[in-house]
Structure 1
Amino acid sequence: MTINCKGNLIDLLSPKVMGILNITPDSFYDGGHFKNETAILNHVESMLNQGASFIDIGAYSSRPNADFVSESIELQRILPIIETVLKHFPKALISIDTFRSAVAKQCIEAGAALVNDISAGKLDKNMLQTVANLHVPYIMMHMEGTPQTMQQHTNYSNLTKDILFYFSERIALAKSLGIVDIVIDPGFGFAKNLEQNYELLNHLELFKMIEKPILVGVSRKSMIYKTLETTANEALNGTTVLNTIALQKGASILRVHDVKEAMETVKLVESLNI
């Protein structure tokens, strides 16, 4: 199971880690932490040295009730960061966290390698065709509504079956347009309440029937810190526990804030399969 990133075949049979670089002022955990070039480059260097295969850059917070950000502001935030990161780390594989086709196109043209779309193309009718034209891997996530309204969309007839059907439809459409490399993300925390997040994790292995790599992003999310009655800052141990479970249930990519700990988790879980 591989994806082609800028001519590099990435083997996802061995799980990989995607490090998060939020350049938004309002992300739930690290918003506003990386305000200048030095801080950004130090963080990227640290994640790469710790073993991250991908760096996921987002300029629009998708946390519940996040503020709206215009397309022009999103581009103003993200394009200089791509240029800076690739200038210093030319081999870095950058994933662009956006649901806008114009942002995806300009970022890929600037040197990014993947598109990570929280809406699976449902928030921009041009996204799927744009990704097909760009010939890059596409991460499609399950979400209902928008970041501003998603927590009002938590009614499902059968959570797992509904999400499996959602992916079957979106994948069929993506493939019909010519998208080759597809990764699915069940969307923990997106249009799902606390109990639904754990139900989804409990049945994660069922998503292997889709025969696409599975990305899991639970890093420091409220499903952890609300359950433990703590905070995002204190949710690293809980993140490691859930990442371990996700790997055992078939996750191919862990999207995380803490790369070192995630890499250790991958190494230990893989050792069980020797």
Structure 2
Amino acid sequence: MAGHIAIGTVYARAWSLFRQRFVILVLLNLLQTLSLGIGLFLHDLLALVSLYPTAPYYYFLYTHPAGLFGVPVAGGILFLLASMSMVMVMNRDRLGGGFWSRLLRRFVPALLAVTLCFSALALIFYGWGSLIDSVSRAFSSMTVIIGISLVALVLLIVVSALLFATLPAVTLERGGPLRAIRRSVFLTTGQRWRIGAIILTLILALLVALMVLRIAAPMIGNGLGLYDPMTLAAALSIVSGLFLLCLTLVITAAYQQMVRVKDGISVEDAGKIFE
């Protein structure tokens, strides 16, 4: 079944999914935000206690492996479980029963798939940073740096578009992490610039919100407490949490439409693909 996804339809479907499952999605998004906040709070707390070796929890958070690595890992696991649960809730009518068994059964494949996806994106960031550093040392040309940055941005969007459907695919369908990634590549074939436009729009909205918050915080000062690093981290977590909610909604809505366009089947039949 040939065709393309419609960006307007994706956003409309995302809004419809949110209205249908408003309460549970908001609660799960709070878990997403909490897991994200763990990283932000920990970062600011480490920066604070590093100046005061006698501060409470200094040893645990700044020197003990459980504090340095255990807390972020716990936050990442919580984030993934919350994200998977949101995808499943939005497809609950199609999946039927067995929510918890499916969540636990698909967690390890999802963890591996998401790790592979983030590793690919991290390599782009690392390569871009290393290349920029080398170019700036050799040429000090702003034009070249901007050009490399634009290429890296396009590459990042393309790779993100390729991996766009990985989370719903690995959560809702059968198969391992590599099959889920291949499934995402298949579903996004012919749709990538549309998906790239969706990704770019969401990222730009997030960056604008974060920039406004960063700029407004010193102006507001201690009146609302935003200038305090910990409170600012909480505010950033809330903004980022709203972004994550929108991203999860849009990814799931786009996945549902891509399944119909590429497979010519309904989402409820997609779970049988890897049988």
Task: Tell me the TM-score normalised to structure 2 length.
Answer: 0.30
Larger Rg belongs to:
2
Name the one with the larger strand percent: 1
Name the one with the larger helix percent: 2
Task: Tell me the TM-score normalised to structure 1 length.
Answer: 0.30
